[in-house]
Amino acid sequence: MAWAGNRPLSGTQVMPRLVVGVTGGIGSGKSTVCSAFAALGVPFVDADIVAREVVEPGQPALEEIRREFGSSVFLDHETLDRSALRTQVFADATAKTRLENIIHPRVRDRIHDAISNCTADYMLVCIPLLLESGAYQDIIDRVLVIDCSEETQIKRVIVRSGLTRSEVEAIMRAQKSRAERLAAADDVLLNEGDLRDITARVGELHQKYQALAATD
């Protein structure tokens, strides 16, 4: 693979010309916004989906997880018992780090590959913990923060997942604050309205990103 700086070379041209990192707190609407971009034909890769793919049956990460955590975190030889693994990791911060050391490099490699294989002018990379992880600065050109009030986040996640308010608040405490995210944003999509508002704002951002990709 030929790279120009931190970007893959496609023929003589660097493609994609612009990589936008999409982030935001839990329930802010990242997936919803990425779907609206996808409806316009914009390619995107979602780190949460990739993180599930790397532990699918047959993936090498599974053997490493078995070595680190034992057979008790497997439902059968091939299938991870996600809830047993979550319980172990929740109870032990070092276990969390050991699991992340297995998963995160693989997720990052796949995201790199997705960018390398992208022939569009620009693409989106949805990374919920983009700002927390610090591992993606070299592949992201701009940060788009999906923003809403904390109360809206809590209400949406309770409806979506059935978690209690205090469980959602605990997840939010482990993430960057709203103010920290906004401070790191190049662009903000305020997601407090309805889906039509999202479509309109996504249309504006799409034009902006196309223009930026054309001049980069």
d(CA 38, CA 123): 10
d(CA 16, CA 118): 6
We find the least distance from the C-beta atom of residue 26 to ligand ADP, in angstroms, to be: 5
Of 72 and 161, nearer to ligand ADP (C-beta) is 161
Instruction: Tell me which residue of 53, 50, 208 sits closest to 141, measured CA to CA.
Output: 208
What are the residue ranges of helices labelled H in 43-184?
47-53, 60-69, 82-91, 93-116, 130-133, 150-161, 165-173, 178-184
We find the least distance from the C-beta atom of residue 167 to ligand ADP, in angstroms, to be: 14
For the chain, how far is it from start to end, CA to CA, in angstroms? 22
We find the least distance from the C-beta atom of residue 132 to ligand ADP, in angstroms, to be: 14
Please give the structure tokens belonging to residue 31: 């997936």
d(CA 17, CA 25): 27
Give strand pairing partners of 9: 14
Q: At what angle do helices 165-173 and 150-161 cross, to 10 degrees?
A: 120
We find the least distance from the C-beta atom of residue 200 to ligand ADP, in angstroms, to be: 12
Of 10 and 133, nearer to ligand ADP (C-beta) is 133
We find the least distance from the C-beta atom of residue 216 to ligand ADP, in angstroms, to be: 27
Of 62 and 127, nearer to ligand ADP (C-beta) is 127
Of 32 and 210, nearer to ligand ADP (C-beta) is 32
Of 30 and 112, nearer to ligand ADP (C-beta) is 30
d(CA 82, CA 124): 27
Q: Which residues are near ligand ADP by CB under 6 A?
A: 24, 26-32, 156, 160, 191, 193-195, 198
Of 82 and 160, nearer to ligand ADP (C-beta) is 160
We find the least distance from the C-beta atom of residue 114 to ligand ADP, in angstroms, to be: 18
